[in-house]
Structure 1
């Protein structure tokens, strides 16, 4: 997956970091830094994406003579002078390490769910001649914020869906397929789609963002696919038939995919007439035949107030196709039929829609959802207040605890010393000042001196991130969220 114009590891840092090699105290031999979420929108993190960054950028002999010369040329142009770029330092890495990065990274296993304000990974140099390398790679390593935020947000979505599924039906396995990723077109790049789409697949097994599956196959040992899809219509495929032939458009799709999972967009013109007259009358026999052959039909309203539209669509379809009452006392559409809302969906609107339909006696089993920007794009590094900070150094042989403590913002006070992550009685705690028990440290060495030490599979990440009875109270979170 060779993406973008940059393929030189020396160009992965903010420009000003190029000058930092001679800003540390003389005699500095070790710089040790860590990465954490300092809080933000969500109370926990679902850690994911570091392995992609390591495999994509850091593993192997990545510093070459050509890379050094290219970087020297570019940085000399940026600073409009020679001598700013640390050519000697990069040549040292090339000559003494064969171009492999003398770094050690320890991290929590990917897919781990832990409260914010805990260390997620640590980074330090292994060669005392190049201590500056630790924070030179802050820029690319901090980009772990994106897949971790997507994975966390998606899991919050899943908790909402799971709550209402538990309330209104018994097929909780269906929650894995209840939110479809429609975000490919809504993100800033193909690489963003790949990273975000992969992160979302930790919680959900249905997706149109095929780039996510491609990333998982290359970087996370996935053998099949991460997210499934099916023949679904869009407005162009319906409206190209013309308004008078809307029924023909839907009939054509179902007939050509009889017995499969099919999705029809129903709001091209009049969503109520489409549900009642077209599907509930004109195409009713075809829909019933589709169901008898094992097919499934999702009708997708794509405009209007989602809370009102979903409920009304359920009522119309229930009137036309009948309903069943499940063991929990909630009405369901026949098992071959569903309403799928894929516009204006986020974890808050999910809760609103599901609360409305369940309060009117409908089971969450009769609805599905799709989401795009809210899943993959509507976030930034400050959503979860991610930060990468130096906490320890060795200067002239003396160990130094490094920290910041801004008087204007106590929330940005950083941790001190070497860190470890421990769990006692189910509670995660970050131990500072080098006082942690190495035998209990949950941070796993994942990279050292150019070599990937642990190669996680996507399936084990999924298993690690599964919902548990110890999860936060999702309704309480929604009520308290600012």
Structure 2
């Protein structure tokens, strides 16, 4: 039976462990302080995308990690004790650097003696370039730099979501530019449906926030909250009332008309989305929406109301065009300035099933082929937006490039004969703009005055706090910038 004193001690450690930075690392890193050469005083490492699916990356999410984990006096006596006890059990021996952590507690009052320099968040950088650099600021804490590789490399996730989202934005913008009168609707053309498909509430928050760098439509409230807490954005994303199948099918098959009418009357103004494929999407479009409720839809439109019809099954490129044709037959169409068909302003379609970077353009191509403007359609994306990604999507890696050992500067690198793609960069690094292109200058040969890396964190303090608005501006696609 657990004594009250032991139970209290366990509860204290459990509470500390939820925020214990000493435990946010890979096991083997706990032993690395014993593995560096004698008289090592500096270890400098960098993070990059070594290649991958997309030729450029949107750098985003480091500020979240820094604010969440690194800012302030994050080392305490209780956390050191908790880590020591856990690691002794974990390894079956004492590998823990208790003296090193106590030194940070006593010498630096629990603030981490590290410096992080990074490209501004939202910057779009071609792969194989340095994105951030980490080094210790106290020679006795050389082992600290790579202790945090595990945590810092997790920037791969928001960075990759933001990159994937931005490339989809480029596709949508191109087709809008070709088939629509303007790009006004672009910020809401890719809606985040990914909350339920994420691995956790935290990952939904990080990924959902990353998507909002490029768009403003989301149903992932966790993403809005992450942008609010870590990037100072009051409301980063917006949504509309929308039906799910349960709110339609509970009326019964014979009650579909009443279910649809209920949506129109309960939400008499603004945009409202209604899933319409519970039974027969074409009957829903042509008979229920197009005949039985047509006058209500038109009247609602006079007050600025917009009905957004949502198919949710079938082959997306085919279904989208068929739904547009069905609605167009009943409500009529106009031809825009580019010669493409438009539904009335009170009627639109959202395709939220099967949307990914690969599928999205196929749908838009088929719409163009049938002379439908892409402005009639909004996309919703879930798993493919926030979940169908991993660290190798952009081949993200964190490697040591420079150290000082016994007073001597050493350019550090790896160059495996079995995989040249994993060759790492040497020496001190700068990211510079040369002839309009990003270039990583290695071996300390760069010009510090031209270095685009900004010191964002030093000795436990955040030195640069990026707002969400400025990140969005930095990450904006060229087509929008050129139209502005």
TM-score, length of structure 2 as denominator length: 0.95
Match of 2:225 among 194, 199, 214: 214
CA shift for structure 1 position 296: 1.1
Counterpart position of 1:395? 405
Counterpart position of 1:25? 37
For 1:267 and 1:405, locate their aligned partners in 2 and report how far apart those are by CA, in whole Å.
55
- Relative distance call for 1:4 and 1:295 in structure 2 (3 A) is farther
Counterpart position of 2:133? 122
Match of 2:449 among 427, 439, 458: 439
What is the RMSD of the two structures over their aligned residues, measured on CA atoms? 1.2
For 1:157 and 1:249, locate their aligned partners in 2 and report how far apart those are by CA, in whole Å.
34
Partner SS for 1:455:
coil
Counterpart position of 1:372? 382
- Relative distance call for 1:236 and 1:316 in structure 2 (3 A) is same
Counterpart position of 2:247? 237
Summarize the alignment of residues 4-83 of structure 1 with structure 2, pairs less than 5 Å apart. Answer: 6-81=18-93, 83=94
For 1:297 and 1:424, locate their aligned partners in 2 and report how far apart those are by CA, in whole Å.
50
Counterpart position of 1:98? 109
Q: What are the Cα deviations for residues 350-395 of structure 1, in whole angstroms up to 9, with x where unaligned? A: 1000000111110001111100011100010001000000000000
CA shift for structure 1 position 470: 11
Counterpart position of 2:469? 459
CA shift for structure 1 position 260: 1.7
Counterpart position of 1:134? 145
Is residue 313 of structure 2 the alignment partner of residue 303 of structure 1?
Answer: yes
For 1:386 and 1:25, locate their aligned partners in 2 and report how far apart those are by CA, in whole Å.
27
CA shift for structure 1 position 410: 0.3
For 1:453 and 1:299, locate their aligned partners in 2 and report how far apart those are by CA, in whole Å.
47
Is residue 261 of structure 2 the alignment partner of residue 261 of structure 1?
Answer: no
CA shift for structure 1 position 438: 0.8
Unaligned runs of 5+ in 2: 1-14
Partner SS for 2:449:
coil
Summarize the alignment of residues 258-297 of structure 1 with structure 2, pairs less than 5 Å apart. Answer: 258-297=268-307
For 2:377 and 2:357, locate their aligned partners in 1 and report how far apart those are by CA, in whole Å.
15
CA shift for structure 1 position 173: 2.2
For 1:249 and 1:85, locate their aligned partners in 2 and report how far apart those are by CA, in whole Å.
63
Is residue 335 of structure 2 the alignment partner of residue 325 of structure 1?
Answer: yes
Q: What are the Cα deviations for residues 88-138 of structure 1, in whole angstroms up to 9, with x where unaligned? A: 000000000000000000000000011011000000000000101000000
Q: What are the Cα deviations for residues 246-266 of structure 1, in whole angstroms up to 9, with x where unaligned? A: 111111011011112100001
- The alignment of Structure 1 onto Structure 2 pairs a total of residues equal to 467
CA shift for structure 1 position 4: 11
Partner SS for 1:29:
strand
Q: What are the Cα deviations for residues 410-464 of structure 1, in whole angstroms up to 9, with x where unaligned? A: 0000000000000123200000001111110000000000000000000000000
Q: What are the Cα deviations for residues 289-348 of structure 1, in whole angstroms up to 9, with x where unaligned? A: 111110111100000000110000000100000001000000010111111100000122
Summarize the alignment of residues 166-177 of structure 1 with structure 2, pairs less than 5 Å apart. Answer: 166-177=177-188
For 1:191 and 1:469, locate their aligned partners in 2 and report how far apart those are by CA, in whole Å.
32
For 2:130 and 2:65, locate their aligned partners in 1 and report how far apart those are by CA, in whole Å.
18
Is residue 458 of structure 2 the alignment partner of residue 448 of structure 1?
Answer: yes
Counterpart position of 1:415? 425
Q: Are 2:17 and 2:82, in contact at CA under 8 Å, matched by a contact in 1?
A: no
Partner SS for 1:161:
helix
Is residue 353 of structure 2 the alignment partner of residue 343 of structure 1?
Answer: yes
Partner SS for 2:478:
coil
TM-score, length of structure 1 as denominator length: 0.96
Partner SS for 2:287:
helix
Partner SS for 2:22:
helix
Partner SS for 1:143:
helix
Counterpart position of 2:12? none
Counterpart position of 2:4? none
Q: Are 2:118 and 2:132, in contact at CA under 8 Å, matched by a contact in 1?
A: yes
For 1:240 and 1:260, locate their aligned partners in 2 and report how far apart those are by CA, in whole Å.
25
Q: Are 2:399 and 2:424, in contact at CA under 8 Å, matched by a contact in 1?
A: yes
CA shift for structure 1 position 5: 6.5
For 1:5 and 1:290, locate their aligned partners in 2 and report how far apart those are by CA, in whole Å.
55
Q: Are 2:17 and 2:23, in contact at CA under 8 Å, matched by a contact in 1?
A: no
